Chains A and B, each alone.
Chain A
Amino acid sequence: MEAQYKDEAQGGPRHAVIMLGLFLLLLVAFGLSLSLGSVHIPLAGLFGILTGEEVSSPAWAIIVHTIRLPKAITAVLAGAALSVSGLQMQTLFRNPLADPFVLGISAGASLGVAIVVLTVGAVGSVLIAGMGFLGDLSLAVAAIIGAATVLGCVLLVSRSVQSVMTLLILGLMFGYATGAFVSILIYFSVPEQIQSYILWTFGSFGSVTWRQMPVLISAIFFGLLLAFLCIKPLNALLLGENYARSMGLNVKRIRLWILISASILAGATTAFCGPIAFLGLAVPHLCRSLLHTSDHRVLMPAVTCLGATLALLSDLIAHLPGSQFVLPLNAVTSLIGAPIVIWFILHRKNLGQAFS
C-alpha cells in the first residue's frame, strides 16, 4: 500500500511511460488521418508523398497536400489549443465545469460570423458571388474581431474585479448578451443564410487553407508558449488566490496572462474552425484521471498531446472513412466523447477530487 502510494506520488517513471504512450498515439492518429478518408491511401504511398518522391497516383498527392495535411495540422493545433485553454480555465476558476468558452469567447466569435453571414444578403448577393477565398477569410476575420472584442471587454473588466467568481459570471453574461444578438440576426435572416451560419457552428478542421495556416500556427504557438510559461503559477493557484499571493505570485498580473493565453488559443481556434465543443472541457479531466495528478508540469504536455489526438480521431470519425458522407464535427466530439468520458470517470472514480 505504502509502496503504491509512493509510486503514485513520485509519479516520475509512470508519468514518463504514459506521456510516451500519448505521444505515440498522436503520431498514429496523425498518420491515420492522412491515410483514411473517402479515398484510402496506403501508408507506403503516404511516406512517398510526404518525402516528395514520385508516387503511383498523382491524385493521392493532391488529396494529401491540399486537403488532408492542412486539415490534420489544423486538427492538431485546434485540439491542443482548446484542451490547454480548458485546463487553464478550470484551474483559474477552480471549477471542473469551466471550458475555453466560459468567458464568452466563442459567443463573440459567433456574433462576428453571424454579422458577416447573416447581413451579407442585405448588402447584396453580388458580394456572396464574389466571396470565394475572400469569403473564407472574411469569416475568420469576423470571428477574430468578435472574439477579440469580447476578450477585450473581459480583460478590461478583470483589472477592476477582485474575485474570479465575479469574472466567471461576467463572462457568462457576455455570452448570453452576444447570443441574444445572434438570435435577433437569425430571426431577420433568410433560410439560406441561416443554413450557412449553422454550418459554421457545426465546426470543421477542413476550411483552413495553406495561406491562412501561418496565421493560425503563430497564434496558437504564441498562446501555447504563454500557457507553458504559466505552469508554475498555475500550480500555485491550485491552493487558491490567497495562498498563491502569499507564496509570491502577482495574482492580478498572472491572471491577466492566463486569460490572454487561454483567449488567444480559444479565439484563434474558433475563428478558423468554428465553436468546437467538448474537447476543452473533457481532455483536462481525462488527463487528470489518466495520470492521477493535478500537477501542471505533467498535465500541460499531456493535455496538449491528448487534445491533438482526440481532435484528429474525432475528425477521422466525422469523415466516415470509406464513405462520401461527412458528419458535423461537433456532433462527433460530443456524441462519441461524452460516453467515453462518462465511462472513464465512473470507472476511475477520481473526478470528484478534481477541485474538492
Chain B
Amino acid sequence: MSILKTQNLAVGYKHGRHPPRVVARDIDVSLHRGEFVCLLGPNGAGKSTLIRTLVGMQPPLDGQVYLMGRDIADMSAIEVAQVISVVLTDRIGVGIMAVRDLVGLGRYPHTDWIGRFTDEDERVVSWAIRAARAEDLAYRNVAELSDGERQKVMIARALAQQPDLMILDEPTAFLDLPRRAEIMALLQDLAHSTGKAILLSTHDLDLALRCADRIYLLPFEGGLQTGAPEDLILNGAFEGAFQSDGVRFDADTGAFKLNAQRGRISVAVSGEGRRAYWTKRALERAGFRVGDAGAEWCVDIGEGDVWCVEHGGVARECDSIADLIVALKGEHG
C-alpha cells in the first residue's frame, strides 16, 4: 500500500469570493516505503503550494490526498502527525533551547499531556540524533548553530516524530555545496535504511538527479510528471520544464547551459584538454561564438601558458584567458 496517494489533486489559493487561483492541477502520485523522491520545478510552478497541501497546511482546491489509505481531510492533526513529519523553510526562533530538547519536541504526538518522556522516548531521540549525524551538536544551544547544522537538527526532530513519511521543503536552500551534498546523501540513506518515504522539494537539479529514486517534475504547464530521473531526461520532460530565454537544459550533460547572447563573431579554438574546454567556456561567456576552423578568428592553444590569437594573418600571444578576452574585445570595441 502506498503511504501517500493523491487523486485529481488541484492546489492553489482561495480568497473569499474571488475565483480560486489554481497553481497546479490533475496531480496523481503515490509514494511508497523506502522511496526517496525529489520534487523539482521552476520558481512559481507551485512546489511549495503542493508541499503545503500534502502536509495538510492548506486545503486542496479539488481532489483528495490519501494517507495510508485514509482521506487526510477526515484525519485529526494528531493522526496526520503520526504519519507525516516535516522540515519547513520557516525561521525557527525557539529561544534558549538545547538541540536535544528541540529534537525531543518531535515526540509531541507520542507523549502525555505535559510532555513527559519515557525511556522509549529518550531512546528514540538519541536514535534520531545519531541517524541525522548530529551527535556532536546534541548539547549545543539551537540559537548558536550554523544553517547546515540547524538543518540536520530539524531533520533529527522530524525523525524523532517516527513518521512513515518525511516531507521537506527546500532543505538544502542557503547551504553551500558540500553541505547540500551531505544533506541529500543523508536523506537518501535514511529513506533506504529506515524504509521511510522521503519527499523533498529542491532547486538543486544536479544533486536531485544523482540521488533521487524518483523525480516529481512540476512545470508551469502540462501537469506533474513523475519518473526515474534518467527517464525524464531522455523523454525531454526536463528540457520542457526548465525552458526559458536565459538557459537551456542540456540533455547530453544533465546540466544547464546559458543561452548566452550568441555572438556574431565566431572564433575557432584549436587544441585539446582542460585548457581548451575552459577557453571555449570563457569565449562563450564573453559573447563570442565558438565556431569551427575557418572562422575569422583563430585561437591556438600552445604549450605552456600561451594562447595564440590569429586574425587576417596577424598573430598575437596572450598569457592568460583574461588577456585573450581583452585582446579579442579590443579589436571589436
Q: Are A288 and B108 in contact (CB under 8 A)?
A: no
- Pairwise interchain contact A248-B81, C-beta atoms closer than 8 A: yes
Give chain A nearest CB distance to B244 CB in angstroms: 31
B315 at interface by CB-CB < 8 Å: no
A255 → B minimal CB distance (Å): 13
Q: Is the CB of A9 within 8 A of B101?
A: yes
Q: Which of B35-90 contact A (CB under 8 A)?
A: 55-57, 76-82, 84-86, 88, 90
Q: What are the residues of chain A within 8 A of B105 when measuring CB–CB?
A: 235-236, 238-239, 247
Q: Which residue of chain B is the closest to A240 with respect to CB atoms? A: B90
Please measure, in the bound complex, the distance between the C-alpha atom of A288 and the C-alpha atom of B289, giving whole angstroms: 64
B144: nearest chain-A partner, CB-CB: A353
Q: Does A232 lie within 8 Å of B90, measured CB to CB?
A: no
Residues of A close to B126: CB separation below 8 A: none
A246 within 8 A of B: yes
Interface pair B98/A297, CB less than 8 Å apart:
no
B96 contacts chain A at the CB level, 8 A cutoff: yes
B108 adjacent to A247 (CB under 8 Å): yes
> Do the beta carbons of B143 and A353 come within 8 Å of each other?
yes
Task: Give A250 to B78 CA distance when docked, in angstroms.
Answer: 8
Q: Which residues of A are found within 8 Å of B91, using beta-carbon distances? A: 240
What 0/1 readout, one digit per residue, does chain A (232-255) give for beta carbons within 8 Å of chain B? 100110111011011111100000
Interface size class of B (residues with CB under 8 A): 35 or more
Q: If the complex has contacts A238-B105, A353-B141, are A246 and B86 also in contact, measured as CB distance less than 8 A?
A: yes
A246-B86, A250-B77 known; A5 vs B139 contact (CB < 8 Å): yes
The CA of A249 and the CA of B143, in the complex, are separated in Å by 24
Q: Is the CB of B93 within 8 A of A232?
A: no
Q: How far apart sit A236 and B86, CA to CA, in the bound complex (Å)?
A: 14
B109 interfacial contact with A, CB 8 Å: yes
Q: Residue A354 at the B interface, CB < 8 A?
A: yes
B-contact bits for A333-351, CB 8 A (1 contact / 0 none) = 0000000000000000010
The answer on a CB contact under 8 Å between B106 and A247 is yes
CB-CB under 8 A from B270, the residues of chain A are: none
Q: Does A6 contact B (CB under 8 A)?
A: yes
Q: When the two chains form the complex, which single residue of A6, A297, A356 contacts B115, counting CB atoms closer than 8 Å?
A: A297
Partner of B98, one of A5, A94, A248: A5
Main secondary structure of the interface of B (DSSP, over half): loop
Decide: A297 and B114 in contact? CB cutoff 8 A: yes
Would A295 and B101 be within 8 Å (CB), given that A235-B115, A353-B143 are in contact?
Answer: yes
- Would A294 and B97 count as touching, CB distance under 8 A? yes
Distance to closest chain A CB from B121 (angstroms) = 13
> Smallest distance from the beta carbon of A310 to chain B beta carbons, Å?
21
A259 to chain B, nearest CB (A): 19
Asked if B314 CB lies within 8 Å of chain A CBs, one says no
CA distance A6 to B115 in the complex (A): 20
The minimal Cβ–Cβ distance linking A292 to chain B, given in whole angstroms, is: 6
Q: What separation, in Å, do the CA atoms of A249 and B101 have in the docked complex?
A: 18
Q: Are A9 and B95 in contact (CB under 8 A)?
A: no
- A131 to B100: give the CA distance in the assembly, Å: 59
The docked-state distance in angstroms from the alpha carbon of A232 to that of B78 is 14
Contact in complex: A8, B98 (CB < 8 Å): yes
B291 to chain A, nearest CB (A): 54
A54 within 8 A of B: no
Residue of B nearest to A294 (CB): B95
B109 adjacent to A232 (CB under 8 Å): no
Which residues in A have their C-beta under 8 angstroms from that of B118? none
Question: What is A's interface to B at a CB cutoff of 8 Å?
Answer: 2, 5-6, 8-9, 94, 229, 231-232, 235-236, 238-240, 242-243, 245-250, 288, 292-295, 297, 350, 353-356
Task: Show 16 residue pairs from A and B whose CB-CB distance is below 8 angstroms, ordered by the A residue.
Answer: A8-B139, A9-B98, A9-B100, A232-B108, A232-B111, A236-B108, A238-B97, A239-B94, A239-B105, A243-B88, A246-B81, A247-B85, A250-B76, A292-B96, A293-B96, A294-B95
Residues of B within 8 A of A (CB): 55-57, 76-82, 84-86, 88, 90-102, 105-106, 108-109, 111, 113-115, 138-141, 143, 161
Given A248-B79, A294-B95, A353-B96, 7 more pairs with CB closer than 8 A: A9-B98, A9-B101, A229-B113, A235-B115, A243-B90, A246-B88, A249-B77
